[in-house]
């Protein structure tokens, strides 16, 4: 996810950009510059933002560094920070979907003779 999206989540939770800046203990122009892609945020601010919006700290730090990083090798390393979480989320969704779609074993605990007598009634 891009830094802009994380900041927008924080702004929505805080109410205004200025309020989010206050929560993060930075000037709102720093936040504005990060949101527009002109600069990243210091690591400690990224951690505060991550904790405030309940997101992964490493992802927000990586997103912030991607804003200004030009070296392709370093960009590749930073982008890899997102893959683990998206893979984990995909796996969780897959498992959750399978669990929901799989019907529970009906009457699994009932003995065959009892099943037969249930149908006779």
pLDDT at 95: 62
Closest C-alpha among 66, 68, 36, 62 to residue 49: 62
Contact 40, 65 (CB under 8 A): yes
Look at the pTM and tell me if it is higher than 0.75.
no
Tokens in use for 97? 């979907």
CA 107, chain centre distance (Å): 39
Mean pLDDT score of the chain, rounded to an integer?
A: 81
| CATH numeric code, 3-101 | 1.10.260
Strand runs labelled E in the chain: none
The better pLDDT of the pair 121, 3 is held by 3
Q: How many Å apart are CA 79 and CA 57, to the nearest integer? A: 14
pLDDT digits (tens, 9 = 90+) for 55-87: 999 999 999 999 888 999 988 988 888 865 545
Domain positions in the chain are: 3-101
């Amino acid at each position: 996810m891009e830094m802009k999206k994380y900041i927008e989540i924080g702004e929505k939770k805080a109410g205004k950009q200025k309020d989010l800046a206050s929560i993060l203990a930075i000037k709102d122009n720093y936040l504005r510059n990060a949101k527009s892609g002109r600069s990243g945020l210091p690591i400690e601010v990224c951690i505060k933002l991550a904790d405030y919006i309940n997101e992964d700290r490493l992802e927000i730090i990586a997103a912030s560094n991607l804003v200004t990083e030009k070296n392709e090798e370093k960009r590749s390393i930073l982008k890899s920070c997102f893959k683990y979480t998206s893979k984990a989320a995909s796996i969780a969704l897959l498992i959750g979907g399978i669990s929901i779609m799989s019907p529970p074993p009906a009457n699994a605990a009932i003995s065959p003779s009892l099943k037969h007598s249930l149908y006779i009634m």
